[in-house]
Homo-oligomer: A and B are copies of this chain.
C-alpha cells in the first residue's frame, strides 16, 4: 500500500471513530436519554459533529488527495477510495465549522421539539424549529453549490447524480404504474386483516421481533434491538449495528415488518467489506441512501411478505403471538399484503408507499423553491393527501408531523425511499434468475441464500461502485422502474385475484 494512502486511511479512521461516537449520542437520545438532558445532548452532539467535520477537512487530507490523484499507477481500490474521499472533502471544506455545529445543535433541538409536537399534535411547537432547519438547509445547499438549484444540491447529497427533474420523471412513471395497479386492486373485494389488530402485548411483540431478527440472519453479537418513537437503524461500529422498533399493541404487523425492514438495513451494514485494508474508512460505508433502502425493502416486502418465508415461520409466530390460532397461513399472507390508501407512510403497503414519497417530494420542492411557507405546510400536506389518497387528515400528527426527517435536517432524503423500492425490485428480479429455487430455499428457512447473494452483489462492495455502477454490475443494466411495476402487478394479481 502506498504510504500516502495509509496516511489517508489513518486520518479517515479517526473521523469514523468520531462519527460512530456521534451515532451513539444520537441513538441514546432516541432510546434512553432523560427528558431534561436534551439541551446538553445537543451541545455534546454539536461538539462531536464539529470534530468530525474538523477531521474531514484537515488540510493534510487535501494535500494527500492532490498528491495521490497525480499518481500514475493507482489500483482500482485506490481509485475508488480517492473518488469517495474527494467527494466528501470537497463538500465538507465548503461548510464553515460554525455552520456545521449550528446545524448539529439546531437539528438536535428540532428532533426533541418534533417528538413533543407529534405527541401533543401541536404543529406550532415544531414550526419555529422547522423554519430554522429549512433556512439551514438552504444555506447548506448554497455553501455546496451557490449556482445550483437548492433542491438539486440537496438531492445529490443522498443519491449521487440525482436531480429534481430526473426524479420527477421516474416518479411520474411510478405514479402512473401505481395508480393502474391500485385501480385493479380496488376493483376486487378487500382482504381481511382484522386479526392483525388483535391486541398483542409489547413483551410478546418484542420476543417476535427478536425471533424475526434471527430468521433473517441478524448477527446479535454485532447489534441489538431497542424501542423508539420512530424506528431507525444506526451504525456505532463495524460490529455494532443497532436497530429499533416500536410496539403498537393492536397492530402486531407494525413491529414485525418494521423489525424486518430495519434488519435489512443492518444486514447491509454488517456485510460491507470492500477490502480489509479499508476497514473503518469511507470506502467501507454504504454507497447511498437509496441502495440502503433497497436492502430494507427487499427484506421487508419481497422476502418478509412472501408466502415462502412464512411457510417456514408462521407456526412459530402463531405460538408467540397467541392471537392467530384460528388464522391459516394463506389468510395471514393475504392480510400482510393488504393494500389500502392510508395516512402514515411507515405503515403503508408497498403499492401506495410511493405515493407518500411523491407527496413529500413535491412539498420539499415547493419549500426549497420558496413557494411554500412553513405555516402553510399543514394545509398543503392535507390537500395533497386528499388528491393522492382521497383521504382527509384528521390531525397533524397523522399528517405533516408524522416523519422525523425534517427535524433531523434531512431535506432531499425522502426520494431515496422510493428509489430503494425500484432498486430492490431490480435486484430481486436478478436474484431469481441467479437462484432458480429461491422460493424453495426460503421455505426451507434458508434466508442465508438470498443474504449470500446480496452480500456478494451489493453489501460487500461498500462505496467501491457508484449506485448506478453497482446496479449495472449486479443486474446487467441501469436502474429501471419497470421491475418494480412488474413485481407489484404479478404479486397483487395473485393476492387480489384480478
Q: Which residues of A contact B (CB under 8 A)?
A: 14, 17-18, 20-21, 24-25, 28, 32-37, 39-41, 43-44, 47-48, 51, 219-224, 226, 236-240, 242
Q: Is the CB of A17 within 8 A of B43?
A: yes
A237 touches B17 (CB 8 A): no
10 nearest A-B pairs in the assembled complex, by CB-CB distance: A37-B240, A40-B237, A36-B239, A35-B221, A36-B221, A37-B239, A36-B222, A37-B237, A17-B47, A34-B240
A51 touches which one: B28, B51, B223, B237 (CB < 8 A)? B51
**Further pairs besides A34-B220, A36-B219: 20, Cβ < 8 Å:** A14-B47, A17-B47, A21-B21, A21-B48, A24-B28, A32-B224, A32-B226, A34-B221, A34-B222, A34-B223, A34-B224, A35-B221, A36-B222, A37-B236, A37-B239, A37-B240, A39-B239, A41-B237, A41-B240, A44-B237
Q: Is the CB of B21 within 8 A of A44?
A: yes
Nearest B residue (CB) for A43? B17
**Chain B positions within 8 Å of A236 at CB level:** 37
Question: Do B40 and A20 touch across chains, with their CB atoms under 8 A apart?
Answer: yes
Query: Which residues of the partner chain B approach A37 to less than 8 Å between Cβ atoms?
Result: 222, 236-237, 239-240
Using Cβ atoms and an 8 Å threshold, which residues of chain B touch A238? Answer: 40
Please report the C-alpha to C-alpha distance between residue A33 and residue B17 in the assembled complex, in whole angstroms.
15
A272 → chain B, closest Cβ, in Å?
A: 14
Residues of B within 8 A of A39 (CB): 239
The answer for the CA separation of A242 and B31 in the assembled complex, in Å, is 14
How far is it, in angstroms, between the C-alpha of A226 and the C-alpha of B34 when the chains are bound?
12
**How far in angstroms is the closest Cβ of chain B from A262?**
15
